Chains A and B, each alone.
Chain A
Amino acid sequence: MGSAVVEFEDIGKVFDAGRRAVRAVEHVDFRVYDGEFVTIVGPSGCGKSTLLNMAAGLLQPTEGTVRYRGAPVTGYNLVTGYMTQNDHLLPWRDVVGNIAVPLEIKRLPRARIRERVQALIDLVGLTGFERSYPAQLSGGMRKRTALARLLAYDPETFLMDEPFAALDAQLRVNMQIEVRRLCRRLNKTVLFVTHDLDEAVALGDRCVVFSPRPGTIRKIIDIPLAPARDLLRLRHDPAYVALTAELWDMIAPSFAATGGEPG
């Protein structure tokens, strides 16, 4: 295992929402190592997005410290790339324009940008929609545009908040394979939030399971599947089946406790 990239040191966060203070997370303490793919699961509202925001430096914890490669994160963490839960595309730019944004900021030559954007559009399957504005796309297509934009800017660490939630099964598997392959090949560190337990096991090297709000870590599961796993054949892998079952059993009682409120 390499060196720690993102470190959450006994994190707590209280939001001051008007008169009411909301405690989102408390005593969250874990490390993400170089080149590691960590998935995060937990009930809705337990503070998963909050943690990603902290890793990106958009939000400061009220207790504890978030470190990135040893240094406390105090402002925009420019080496992280964030694919947010809402796509946050620029409404005044078409698909090509949106994906090109990070490349324009990096001041790549025009020809290179065009080439790279087209490759990414093909990769996420948006060919034919190059000139569509976000308002003209479906939810899943917007997500794919956001994913392409994230891949375009090639950060050291990926923060992904339910990136595949709006995709159909087929596209989702394709994207999962693609992201997993890319991250392995380029040795990216990934923090990946999902509500899909199968996905959490299939993609992760480790999986962090959260309790309902205020979010605390219930357990961190090691996923001893091969790094270069064949996602299409995982269903037939007994280790995978056992792991998803274990995860399911862990989550299920908390469903019962919240009266079956979807997590």
Chain B
Amino acid sequence: MRLNALRILLFLVIVVSWELMSGPVIAEFFISRPSVIVRILSDWITNGSIFFHAGITAGEAFSGFLLGGFAGMTAGIVLGRARLLADVVDPFIMAFYSLPKIALAPLFILWFGIGMDMKIVLTGTVVFFLVFLNTYTGVRSVSRELVAILSLMGAKERHLLAKVVIPSAVTWVFAGLRISVPYALIGAIVGELIASNRGLGFVLADAAGQFDTGGVFAALIAIMLLAFLLNTAVKYTERKVMPWKSADETREVTI
């Protein structure tokens, strides 16, 4: 609890010095001030607009996350189990992987327009590669002894997948999903910055367009909260899906 007290103290120091510096030290135009940001946020909350825009962004990020995560996991498992196929497609995948996915945004606008679809696909593409590469590594590192033991019991490929490959790769899948969270938001927000009339990215661009620094900071804080929510959701699912993991974490270490 001392830790939390220290954290709150640090937070207060930052907020108070920000409030005091704004004006006398740095022009308020550049850094706004916490009291203004809080007022803007509470305005947005009372008129409900923040929930509308956050809902749009969260919807895009979440759908893209699911789409990309699911596709990445499937591709990772298939290629992880099919050696020849993996070797054949390896250079293509690497070529696409090195491409900054954001550079695909203009192409996706041409294909899907400027609606939510385009942001979902952009987010999905970003998440896909992260989850795919992790899953692939996970499937490749499956214990060959376990595979042998189960094969000896007469297990077919589908048994091996369900009982050995997927459970052991799932740790890696979630590692991929966890690092994907900020990237999923990048996909959604950048998509909105480029072309949109709704979503937190739009709010951000709109406030900046009106030289409303307080609005920009308020939008950034809303984005941070959204990221926090997504992170928590992933962690929660991880615990639900891998009960043996939490059993492992809470057990006392013996060697």
CB < 8 Å neighbour of A106 from B143, B150, B154: B154
Q: Among B146, B153, B163, B247, which residue has its beta carbon within 8 angstroms of that of A136?
A: B247
Docked-complex contact A88 and B149, CB < 8 angstroms: yes
Residue of B nearest to A106 (CB): B154
| CB interface residues, A 84-109, toward B, < 8 Å | 84, 86, 88, 90-94, 101-102, 104-106
Q: Is the CB of A101 within 8 A of B152?
A: no
CA gap between A57 and B146 in the complex, in Å: 15
A154-181 interface (Cβ within 8 A of B): none
Q: What are some 17 contacts across the A-B interface (CB < 8 A)?
A: A57-B152, A76-B151, A76-B152, A88-B149, A90-B163, A92-B244, A93-B163, A94-B244, A101-B163, A105-B150, A105-B153, A105-B155, A105-B159, A133-B247, A135-B251, A136-B247, A136-B251
> Which residues of A are interface residues toward B (Cβ below 8 A)?
56-58, 76-78, 80-82, 84, 86, 88, 90-94, 101-102, 104-106, 133, 135-136, 153
Q: Which of B150, B163, B244, B251 counts the most A-chain CB atoms under 10 A from its CB? A: B244
Q: What 5 A-B pairs have minimum CB-CB distances, sorted nearest first?
A: A92-B167, A102-B153, A92-B244, A133-B244, A133-B247
Chain B residues within 8 Å of A58, by CB: 148, 152
Is the C-beta of B87 less than 8 angstroms from some C-beta in chain A?
Answer: no
Question: Which of B149, B153, B168, B251 has a CB less than 8 Å from the CB of A84?
Answer: B149
**In the complex, residue of chain A having the shortest beta-carbon distance to the beta carbon of B149:** A88
A91–B153 contact, CB under 8 A? no
B161: shortest Cβ distance to chain A, in Å?
13
Known A58-B148, A90-B167, A92-B244; 10 more pairs at CB < 8 Å: A77-B152, A84-B149, A88-B146, A91-B168, A93-B167, A102-B153, A104-B163, A105-B153, A105-B154, A135-B251
**Residues in A neighbouring B170, C-beta threshold 8 A:** 92
> Binding site of B, secondary structure by majority: helix, strand, loop or mixed?
helix
For B247, list chain A residues within 8 Å (CB).
133, 135-136
User: Nearest Cβ distance between residue B169 and chain A, in whole angstroms?
Assistant: 11
Q: Which of A78, A86, A93, A104 contacts B152 (CB 8 A)?
A: A78
B residues in contact with A101, CB < 8 Å: 150, 153, 163
| A93-B244, A105-B159, A133-B244 known; A82 vs B167 contact (CB < 8 Å) | no
**What's the minimum C-beta distance from A77 to chain B, rounded to whole angstroms?**
7
Interface residues of B in 113-152 (CB under 8 A from A): 143, 145-146, 148-152
B154 touches A88 (CB 8 A): no
Complex interface bits, B232-255 against A, C-beta within 8 A gives 1, otherwise 0: 000000000010100110010000
B164 contacts chain A at the CB level, 8 A cutoff = yes
Contacts A133-B244, A133-B247; A90 near B146 (Cβ below 8 A): yes
Which residues of chain B have C-beta atoms less than 8 A from A93's C-beta? 163, 167, 244
A120 to chain B, nearest CB (A): 15
Tell me the bound Cα distance from A105 to B159 in angstroms: 7
CA distance A92 to B146 in the complex (A): 12
Chain A residues near B248 (CB-CB < 8 A): 91, 133, 135
Tell me whether B164 and A90 are in contact (CB under 8 A): yes
Give the contacts of B149-204 with A (CB-CB under 8 A): 149-155, 159, 163-164, 167-168, 170
Asked if A81 contacts B152 (CB within 8 A), the reply is yes
B55 to chain A, nearest CB (A): 36
Contacts of B242 in A (CB 8 A): 92
Please give the distance in Å from B19's CB to the nearest CB on chain A.
Answer: 51
Inter-chain CA distance A49–B145, complex, in Å, is 14
Contacting residues, chain A, for B151 (C-beta < 8 A): 76
Which residues of B sit under 8 angstroms from A91, Cβ to Cβ?
Answer: 168, 244, 248
Complex formed: what's the CA distance from A11 to B53 in Å? 73
Measured in the bound complex, the distance between the Cα atoms of B42 and A31 in whole Å is 84
- Residues in A with CB closer than 8 Å to B153 are 78, 81, 101-102, 105, 153
In the complex, what residues of A have CB within 8 A of residue B244's CB? Answer: 91-94, 133, 135
> Shortest distance in angstroms between B253's beta carbon and chain A's nearest beta carbon?
10
Residues of A close to B150: CB separation below 8 A: 101, 105
A87: shortest Cβ distance to chain B, in Å? 10
Q: Which B residues are in CB contact (< 8 Å) with A80?
A: 152
Please name the residue on chain A nearest to B143 by beta carbon: A88
